[in-house]
Structure 1
Amino acid sequence: MKVAVLGLGIMGQGVARTLLRDGFDVTVWNRSSEKAAPFADEGATVAESPAAAVADADVILSIVFDADSVIDVLDAAEGHVPDGAVWVQSSTIGLEGTGRVVETAAKHGIPLIEAMMLGTKTPAETGKLVMLAAGEKALIEKAQPVLDSMGQKTVVAGPTVGNGTALKLAANAWIATITAGTAQSLAVTKALGLDPDLFLQAIDGGASDSPYAHQKGANMIKGDYPASFALDGLRKDVGLIADASRANGVDTTLIDALGKVYAAASDKGHGDDDISSVYTGFGD
């Protein structure tokens, strides 16, 4: 099966390598060509344009930053998507952005589903993401071998493109909350004169424990934030969550507060660092 991967950020790189390892015929494209070049040595075909990347593909993955970027690659690929191919939109772009992408795909006659990726760098590199799919059943089934390579399971959120996005926003609200909550508890522990690791020891194995708290908390305690999920990426998602919540009658007190603390960390220069750097938004 031939797969085109459009976009080679942290997640796109991990997914492309997973697909190569699993034996797929992979073509990659990235707006910045220097990120794509190394994949030639790893067995992928490097395309110079989205049109060239999709020309022979059975499944096309768009893993770019925002809705405008997805629309740009859809426009660039117009007329070059093979008959029978399916376009899998995997970028977190919010409900309004997804609506615009659906309209663009329909205008170009491109069969579209979505498969949001729940997970970060390591799950992308090891095929352990959770895929949140939505769209026409037959199209999801066509793309399923690719989704099975990318993820440990696929949750079908519904028959309409946008259902997967809705579920991803809910999931990322949880990720934003537990990451910032861990940071707050560690900051309070330290400020009150204790070793911050005592907080992680206190919750370990209890009903309130979370593996994520230990993973991200270890980064916070060390003050080392290698990017697995860039802070500005989650900050963008927090804004999308707030927009969707306001539009649908959900109180935004908590998500707005999260937006402020992630913004504070970004303003301190941590936008490209891991989301665990939100710890710095609490004053460290």
Structure 2
Amino acid sequence: MIKAFLGTGLLGANFVKAMLDRGEQVQVWNRSAAKAAALEALGARVCATAADAVKGADYVHLTLRDDASVNEVLAAAAPGLQVGAVIIDHTTTSAAGAVERTKEWQARGFTYLHAPVFMGPANAREGSGFMLVSGNQEVITAVQPLLDKMTGRVLNFGPEEGKAAGMKLIGNCFLVAFTAGLSDTLGLGKALHISVQDMNALFDAWNPATMIPARLQRMTSGDYSKPSWELAMARKDTQLFMNTVQGNGALTVIPAIAAEMDRWIEKGFGNSDWTVIAKDVAAGLK
């Protein structure tokens, strides 16, 4: 069995190294030739073009930048694809793009499966982390043994094409918001002269991550009439954050949240649970 890997940046290169460790035959291509060339000494066959890299390959893996780069590289690789080749795309893309590519390549006689990951380079090297799939369940069942070798756990989100792409975006959105929130928290800690070690001690004893399921349920319930923390009180504390940091740096996320709180207070929800700020986006969610 021959595999092709298109895109050998940090993630792709480590996927390839793990494949080579397992004794697999891998043909590689990358826009920056030097990154692909570094894998030659480890046993990969380095190719000058994407079309050359996919020749004779049963499976074609991609780790690229975005929808546009995936479309461009697949178009360049198309002349070299053998009949029956399975394309497995690990790139984080739009859900619409994943759906469109699935249909397009099926019409051209090939199988395309979008399998984005929650994995860093170290995960790719050691086969840990998470890989997401959705769509044709027969296809997923057929490639599952191959994917299992690449990651710690494959998460199957059912038959809906593009859902894996959507779930990856949901996860990344949370990570971006979480990190930005932590940045503001560090800023507040700095202004208060509280060390990172002390903050770690707080979160180790009081783990807010355990609140996520209950918080999601409350935010999407549609009933904000029984507050555990009134919006007006949450807004008061939010002002304390901003006042404390003023002159000692800047907060990124908190001012935007304060503005949204003010909007809902002006609409008469000051005595409601503070999660009412999610009322509009939560409406209609299943």
After TM superposition, the score normalised by the length of structure 1 is 0.69
What amino acid does structure 1 have at the position aligned with 2:93? I
Rounded to whole Å, the distance in 1 between the matches of 2:117 and 2:80 is 26
Q: Contact 1:19/1:146 (CA < 8 Å) preserved in 2? A: no
Q: 1:107 to 1:50 in 2, by over 3 A?
A: farther
Name the SS for the 1:204 alignment partner: helix
Q: 1:35 to 1:250 in 2, by over 3 A?
A: farther
Q: Which residue of 1 aligns with 2:131?
A: 131
Rounded to whole Å, the distance in 2 between the matches of 1:129 and 1:137 is 22
Name the SS for the 2:169 alignment partner: helix
Q: Residue deviations 1:163-209, cap 9 Å, x none?
A: 11011111112221222222221221012122232111211143326
Q: Which residue of 1 aligns with 2:189?
A: 189
Displacement of 1:250 in angstroms is 7.6
Rounded to whole Å, the distance in 2 between the matches of 1:187 and 1:135 is 43
Displacement of 1:103 in angstroms is 4.5
Q: Which runs of 5+ in 2 are unaligned?
A: 211-278
Q: Which runs of 5+ in 1 are unaligned?
A: 211-248, 253-284
Rounded to whole Å, the distance in 2 between the matches of 1:146 and 1:9 is 21
Q: Which residue of 2 aligns with 1:30?
A: 30
What amino acid does structure 1 have at the position aligned with 2:170? A
Q: Residue deviations 1:75-127, cap 9 Å, x none?
A: 11224222232111111111233244334424533211111111222212211
Rounded to whole Å, the distance in 2 between the matches of 1:57 and 1:205 is 51
What amino acid does structure 1 have at the position aligned with 2:31? R
Rounded to whole Å, the distance in 2 between the matches of 1:26 and 1:140 is 21
1:139-218 matches, cutoff 5 A: 139-208=139-208
What amino acid does structure 1 have at the position aligned with 2:135? G
Aligned residues: 214
Q: Contact 2:86/2:110 (CA < 8 Å) preserved in 1? A: yes
Q: Which residue of 2 aligns with 1:84?
A: 84
Rounded to whole Å, the distance in 1 between the matches of 2:198 and 2:86 is 50
Q: Residue deviations 1:249-272, cap 9 Å, x none?
A: 9849xxxxxxxxxxxxxxxxxxxx
Q: Contact 2:98/2:114 (CA < 8 Å) preserved in 1? A: no
1:231-246 matches, cutoff 5 A: none
What amino acid does structure 2 have at the position aligned with 1:178? F
Q: Using the aligned pairs only, state the percent identity.
A: 30
Q: Which residue of 1 aligns with 2:65?
A: 65
Name the SS for the 1:109 alignment partner: coil
What amino acid does structure 1 have at the position aligned with 2:147? L
Q: Residue deviations 1:220-243, cap 9 Å, x none?
A: xxxxxxxxxxxxxxxxxxxxxxxx
Q: Contact 2:118/2:168 (CA < 8 Å) preserved in 1? A: yes
What amino acid does structure 2 have at the position aligned with 1:194? I
- Higher Cα Rg, which structure: 2
Q: Contact 2:3/2:25 (CA < 8 Å) preserved in 1? A: yes
Q: Contact 2:101/2:112 (CA < 8 Å) preserved in 1? A: no
Q: Contact 1:39/1:46 (CA < 8 Å) preserved in 2? A: yes
Q: Contact 2:129/2:151 (CA < 8 Å) preserved in 1? A: yes
Rounded to whole Å, the distance in 1 between the matches of 2:103 and 2:280 is 26
Rounded to whole Å, the distance in 1 between the matches of 2:191 and 2:3 is 50
Displacement of 1:151 in angstroms is 0.6
Runs of 4+ in 1 over 3 A off after TM superposition: 249-252
Q: Residue deviations 1:2-30, cap 9 Å, x none?
A: 22111112211121112212222111110
Q: Contact 1:18/1:149 (CA < 8 Å) preserved in 2? A: no
Q: Which residue of 2 aligns with 1:16?
A: 16
Rounded to whole Å, the distance in 2 between the matches of 1:17 and 1:205 is 39
